[in-house]
Structure 1
Amino acid sequence: MEFDAVLIAPRRERMVAQGLWHDRTINDDLDDCVAACPDKLALTALRVEEGDTTRFTYREMARMADRIAVGLARLGVGRNDVVACQLPNWWQFTLTCLACARIGAVVNPVMHIFRERELSFMLRHGEAKVMIVPKRFRGFDFEAMLTGLQPDLPELRQVVVVGGSGDNSFEALLSGPAWEEAADAKDILSRSRPGPDDVMQLIYTSGTTGEPKGVMHTANTTMANIIPYAARLQLGSDDVVLMASPMAHQTGFMYGLMMPIMLKASAVLQDIWDPVRAVALIQSEGASFTMASTPFLTDLTRAVAEGGGAVPSLRTFLCAGAPIPGPLVEQARSVLGTKIVSAWGMTENGAVTLIELGDDEERAFNTDGHPLPGVEIKVVDEDGNALPPGESGELMLRACSNFGGYLKRPHLNGTDADGWFDTGDMARIDERGYLRITGRSKDVIIRGGENVPVVEIEALLYRHPAVQMAAIVAYPDERLGERACAVVVPRPGQSIDLPSIVDFLKHQKVALQYIPERLVVRDAMPSTPSGKIQKFRLREMLRGESA
C-alpha cells in the first residue's frame, strides 16, 4: 500500500524544532518498559460474557507482540501492509496493534458494530491484507460475515478468527506457536520497524461525504497528543487506566492502548459496558483514570449511588463526545469523589482541548476546556476573519497532532497552506481561551460518542419505495446526547412507519447504531428557494417537541 500522508513532511522541521514531535514509536516505549519494569502488570483484560480475565506483564506483552508479529509475517504481512482488526476490548486487540508496529504494518481498527455495508467499503478502500475478527461476539457470527465478504475483496488474503476452531484461528496462526523462537524471527523483527513519520494507523471516520474517510496517523502525530494530554491530567507510571470505551476509537486506541505503555502504567480493558462490573473492576484493580462519553459517566454514577460501593481510587473521569449536564457533574463529583474533566477532540487530532484539574467544577459543564500545548484554535466568520471572544463561528485548529491526511482523498484534507484545519464545528472561545462547541457546520449526529453517517443513511432511505424525500436529523437524548430521527415525505398514495424503515435499513446491512430510532412523517419539507432542505428547522421542531 502506498500512503499519501501529505500533511506530514511540510511541518516536520517545525514540529521537531519546537520539541513537539519526539521521533519515537510505540516500539521504543515497549522496549523501555521491558528494560525498566519487565515484571510489572501491563494489561488486564476482562471478557464480561465469558467471565474470564487475562493478564500480561510487560515482559509477557513484548514476547506475545513479537510472536504475533512473526505470525503475521508468515501470512505475508510486511511493511505498509494493512491489518484490519474488528475486535472488542480484548487482549488480542492490544497485542495485534503492537505486533503490527514490530514489523511496520499499519493497523486499521474497525468498530465491532460495523456490518457488511461499512466493512465492504473500508476493507476495499484500505486494501486490508489481513482481517482479524472474533468468532462470535454479543450473539453475532463475525466469521460468517467475513466469509461472505471475502470473495469480493481481492486484496484480503486472510481472515483470522479469535476463538475459531479451524486452521484460520488466531490461536493457530498467531498466538499459539512460539514464532518468536524461530531461526528467522530476529531478522523479521528488526528489518522493517517503522519510523516515527511512517503511517502506523488507518482509522475511518464518518463524515459528510457519504462515505467514511480513512484518517492516517503516525507515531509522531499520536504521541504529540498523548504526552501533553497525560501531563495535563497528571498521569504517571503509578496510574491504572480503565478502558471500557471501544479500542477501535481514538479514545481507546490512544489513551487505553498507547498511553499506558508510554507512561509505564497499567491498563484494564472491559469489553462490554456493564457499570456494575466496571465498579468491581475499579475496586479490584485500583483504577485511577478513565475516559468515556457521557452515558458511561451517567451509568457509573448511578451504579455507585445504588449501592455498588465506593471507588476511592478513581481520581479522574475524562468525559468527551457530548456536553456534560451540570447536574451530572455535581452528582458524579459527590457520589464518585472523582474529578470530572470535560474535553473535545477529533479522530483527526485526538483530544484538542481539556479543562485543568484545578479548574472550578462549572468549567466541566460550561466549556470543553482549553488547548493542549502544541495546539492553536481560532473561531472565524464565513470570510475567514477571526472573531472576538464570545462570538460563535467556524472552528479552525492547528496542531502538532493533526493527522497525515485522508487516504486517497487529499482534496478532502481541509488543511490550508498555513496548517489550519477546518474542523466542521461551530464554536466560541471565551476571554480565558476556553472553548465551547456550539453546533456543527458539518452534517453529523453523535450518538453516545459514535458518529452517525447522515449522508449515507439518507441516500439509502431515498431507495425505499415509499420515500419521496428524507432527512436525518438529531434529537436530544438525556443519556446518549443525541439520537437520529428520520423525517420523511412519503410518495403519493404510500404510507410508511418506523418498523418498515428499520427493516429496510437492516436489509441494507447497516450497523444497528446508525438506524434512526424515531420517525416523523410530513407532507412537505421546509426548504430554501433553491430546494435545499432546511435541517435547522427540523431540529428546532424536534427540540420543541422534546421540551
Structure 2
Amino acid sequence: MQFDTVLLPPRRTRMLEQGLWHERTINDYLDACVAACPDKLALTAVQVETGDVRRFTYRTLAQMADRIAVGLSRLGVGKDDVVACQLPNWWQFTLVYLACSRIGAVMNPLMHIFRERELSFMLQHGEAKVMIVPKHFRGFDFEQMLTGLQPSLPTLQHVIAVGGQGASSFEALLSGPEWEKEADAQDILTRSRPGPDDVTQLIYTSGTTGEPKGVMQTANTLMSNIVPYAERMHLDAEAVVLMASPMAHQTGFMYGLMMPIMLKASAVLQDVWEPKQATALIQQEQVTFTMASTPFLTDLARTVDEQRQAGGPGVPTLRTFLCAGAPIPGPLVEQARAALGAKIVSAWGMTENGAVTTTELSDDDERAVNTDGHPLPGVEIKVVDASDQPLPAGEAGRLLLRSCSNFGGYLKRPQLNGTDADDWFDTGDLARIDERGYLRITGRSKDVIIRGGENIPVVEIESLLYKHPAVALAAVVSFPDERLGERACAVVVPKAGQSIDLPEIQRFMKEHKVAIQYVPERLIVQEAMPATPSGKIQKFKLREAIRELIRNTPE
C-alpha cells in the first residue's frame, strides 16, 4: 500500500524544533518497559460474557507481540501492508497492533458493529491483506460474514478468526506456534521496523461525503497527543487505566492501548459495557483512570451510587473520569462526583487529532458542565466567520484547529484533507471560545449525528433511504436522548399512493446490512419537506419540529 501522508512533510521541521514530535514509536516504548519493568502487570483483559480473564506482564506482552508478528510475516504481511482488525476489547486487539508495529505493517481497527455494507468499502479502499475477527461475539458469526465477503475483495488474502476452528484460526496461525523461537525470527522482527513518520494506523471516520474516510496516523502524530494528555491528567507509571470504550475508536486505541505502554502503566480492558462489571473491575484492579462517553458515566455513577446506598465500598481508587463525545449534563457531574468521588473532566476531540481540548484537574466543576476544555499543549484553536475572519470571545462560528497531532491526510483523498497552507484544519464543527480560552461546541456544520459517541454517517443512510421504492424525499436528523445524547430520526415524504412505517424502514436497513446503531430509531412521515428557494432541505426546521413533537408527546 502506498500512503499519501501529504500533511506531514510541511510541518515536520517545525514540530521537531518545537519539541512536539518525540521520534519514538510504540516499539521504543514497549522495549523500554521490558528493560525497566519486565514483570510488571501490563494488561488485564476481561470478557464479560464468558468471564475469561487474561493477564500479561510486559515481558509476556512483548513475547506474544513477537510471536504474532512472525506469524503475520509467515502469511506474507510486510512493511506498509494493512492488517484489518474487527475485534472487541480483547487482548488479541492490543497484541495485533503491537505485532504489526514490529514488522512495519499498518493496523486498520474496525468497529465490531460494522456489517457487510460498511466493511465492503473499508476493506477494499484500505487494501487490507489480512482481516482478523472474532469467530462469535454477542451472538454474531463474524467469520461467516467475512468469508462471504472475501471473494469480492481482491487484496484480502486471509480471514483469521479468534476462537475459530482449524487451520485458519488465530490460535493456529498466530498465537499458538512459538514463532518467535524460529531461526529467522529476529531478522523478521528487526528488518522492517517502522520509523516515527511511517503510517502505523489507518482508521475510518464517518463524515459528510457519503463514504467513510481513511485517517492516516503515525507514531509522531499519535504520541504528540498522548504525551501532553497524560501530563495534563497527571498520569504516570502508577496509573491503572480501565478502557471499556471500544479500542477501534481513537479513545480506546490511543488512551487504552498506547498510553499505558507509553507510561509503563497497567491497562484493564472490558469488552462489553456492563456497569456492575465495570464497578467490580475498578475495585478489584484498583483502577485510577478511565475515559468514555457520557452514557458510560451515567451508568457507572448510578450503579456505584446504588451499591454505596446498600453498604458497598464504592470506587475509592478511581481519581479521574474523562468524559467526551457529548456535553455532560450539569446534574450528572454533581451526581458522579458524589457517587464516584472522582474528578469529572470534559474533553473534545476527533479521529483526525485525538483529544483537542480538556478541562484541568484543578478547574471548578462548572467548567466540565459549561465547556469542553481548553487546548492541549501543541494545539491552537480559533473560531471564524464565513469569510475566515476570527470572531471575538463568546461568538459562535466555524471551528478551526492547528495541532501537532493533526493526521497525515485521508487515504487516497487528499482533496478532502481540509487543511490550508498554514496547517489550519477545518473541523466541520461550530463553536465558541470564552475569554479564558475554553471551548464549547455549539453545533455542526458537517452533517453527522453522534449516538453515544458513535458517528452515524447521515449521507450514507439518506442515500439508502432513497433506494426504498416508497420514498420520494428523505432526510435523517438528530433528536435528543438523555442517555445517548442523540438518536437518528428519518423524515420521509412517500411517493404518491405509497405508505411507509418505522418497522419497514428498519427492515429495509437491516436487509442492506447496515450497522444496527445506524438504523433510524424514529420516523416522521410528511407531505412535504421545508426547503430553501433552491430546493435544499432545511434540516434545522426538521430538528425544531422533532423537538417540538417530543415535547408535546405524553410519556
- TM-score if structure 2 supplies the norm length? 0.98
2:194 counterpart residue number: 194
Q: What letter corresponds to residue 257 of structure 1 in structure 2?
A: L
1:347 and 2:357 aligned: no
**Is 2:246 aligned against 1:246?**
yes
Q: After the TM superposition, which residues 38-49 of structure 1 pair with which residues of structure 2 at under 5 Å, given as runs? A: 38-49=38-49
Note the alpha carbon deviations across 1:474-507, whole angstroms, 9 max, x for none: 0000000000000000111111000000000000
- Residue in 2 that maps onto 1:15: 15
SS in 1 for 2:398: strand
- Give the Cα separation in 1 of the matches to 2:472 and 2:431: 34
What is the alpha-carbon distance in structure 2 between the residues aligned to residue 495 and residue 545 of structure 1?
21
Are 2:436 and 1:401 aligned? Answer: no
1:468 is matched with 472
**How far apart in 1 are the matches of 2:317 and 2:331?**
23
Q: Deviations over 1:298-318 (max 9, x none)?
A: 000111111163000010000
2:328 aligns with one of 324, 328, 333: 324
Instruction: For 1:475-490, list aligned pairs within 5 A.
Output: 475-490=479-494
TM alignment of 1:369-448, pairs within 5 A: 369-448=373-452
Alpha carbon RMSD of aligned pairs, Å? 0.5
Partner of 1:519: 523
AA at the equivalent of 2:324: A
CA distance in 1, matches of 2:306, 2:344: 20
Q: What is the alpha-carbon distance in structure 2 between the residues aligned to residue 176 and residue 398 of structure 1?
A: 45
Q: Which runs of structure 2 are paired with 1:242-391 in the superposition (5 Å)? A: 242-307=242-307, 309=312, 310-391=314-395
Where 2:223 maps in the other structure, the secondary structure is helix
2:67 partner SS? helix
Partner of 1:36 in structure 2?
A: 36
Contact 1:233 1:357 in 2 (8 A): yes
**Structure 2 equivalent of residue 142 of structure 1:** 142
Match of 2:508 among 501, 504, 525: 504
- Corresponding residue for residue 50 of structure 1: 50
Task: Output the CA distance in 2 between the equivalents of 1:72 and 1:335.
Answer: 46
Distance in 2 of aligned mates of 1:32 and 1:19: 20
Q: Which residue of 1 aligns with 2:118?
A: 118
Separation in structure 1 between the aligned mates of residue 121 and residue 211 of structure 2, nearest angstrom: 8
Q: Distance in 2 between matches of 1:37 and 1:356?
A: 30
Question: For 2:167, what is the secondary structure of its paired residue?
Answer: coil
Q: Find the counterpart in structure 2 of residue 540 from structure 1.
A: 544
Q: Is the 8 A contact 1:475 1:539 kept in 2?
A: yes
Superposed displacement of residue 546, structure 1: 2.8
Residue identity in the other structure for 2:202: L
* Separation in 2, partners of 1:305, 1:20: 41
1:525/1:533 contact within 8 Å kept: yes
Partner SS for 1:287 = coil
Counterpart of 1:54, as a letter, is R
1:544 shift after superposition: 1.9
Cα distance in 1 between the residues matched to 2:147 and 2:375: 45
Q: Deviations over 1:140-182 (max 9, x none)?
A: 0000000100000010000010000121000000000000000
- Tell me, in whole angstroms, the C-alpha distance in 2 between the residues paired with 1:333 and 1:521: 43
1:489 maps to a residue whose letter is V
Secondary structure of the 1:167 match is helix
Q: How many residues align?
A: 547
Q: Distance in 2 between matches of 1:60 and 1:540?
A: 55
Identical residues among aligned pairs (%) = 78
* Structure 1 unaligned blocks of 5 or more: none
Q: Equivalent residue for 2:233?
A: 233
Structure 2 residue identity aligned to 1:109: P
Distance in 2 separating the partners of 1:272 and 1:20: 35
Alpha-carbon distance in structure 2 between the residues aligned to 1:9 and 1:175: 37
Q: In structure 2, how many angstroms separate the alpha carbons of the residues matched to 1:347 and 1:239?
A: 24
User: 2:86 — aligned with what?
Assistant: 86
Give the counterpart letter for 1:437 in structure 2. I
Contact 1:67–1:174 at 8 Å: present in 2 too? yes
Paired with 2:549 and 2:233, the residues of 1 have a C-alpha distance of 40
Rounded to whole Å, the distance in 1 between the matches of 2:543 and 2:357 is: 27
1:510 partner letter = V
CA distance in 2, matches of 1:317, 1:521: 41
Amino acid at match of 1:540: E
1:266-290 CA deviation, whole Å, 9 max, x = no partner?
0000000000000000000000000
Q: Mark the runs of 5 or more structure 2 residues left unpaired by the alignment.
A: none
The counterpart of 1:458, out of the listed 432, 452, 462, is: 462
**Alpha-carbon deviation of 1:541?**
1.0
* Residue identity in the other structure for 2:391: L
Secondary structure of the residue aligned to 1:234 is coil
For 2:212 and 2:323, locate their aligned partners in 1 and report how far apart those are by CA, in whole Å. 25
- SS of residue in 1 equivalent to 2:5: coil
Write out per-residue CA displacement over residues 112-149 of structure 1, whole angstroms, 9 at most, x where no aligned residue: 00000000000000000000000000000000000100
**2:177 alignment partner AA:** P
Q: Which runs of 4+ in 1 moved over 4 A?
A: none
Q: Is the 8 A contact 1:476 1:546 kept in 2?
A: no
Distance 1:233 1:57 in 2: 24
Q: Give the Cα–Cα distance (whole angstroms) in 1 for the partners of residues 137 and 176 of structure 2.
A: 21
Instruction: Report the Cα distance in structure 1 between the residues aligned to 2:474 and 2:509, rounded to whole angstroms.
Output: 14
Q: Distance between the aligned counterparts of 1:305 and 1:23, measured in 2? A: 44
* Residue matched to 1:213: 213
Structure 1 Cα separation of the partners of residues 277 and 462 of structure 2: 38
What is the CA-CA distance between 1:545 and the residue it aligns to? Answer: 2.3
CA distance in structure 1 between the aligned counterparts of 2:499 and 2:549, rounded to whole angstroms: 22
Which position in structure 1 is the counterpart of 2:167? 167
1:141 maps to amino acid: D
1:293 to partner: Cα distance: 0.2
Q: Distance in 1 between matches of 2:130 and 2:499?
A: 45
Corresponding residue SS for 2:337: helix
1:450 partner letter: E
> TM-score, structure 1 length as denominator?
1.00
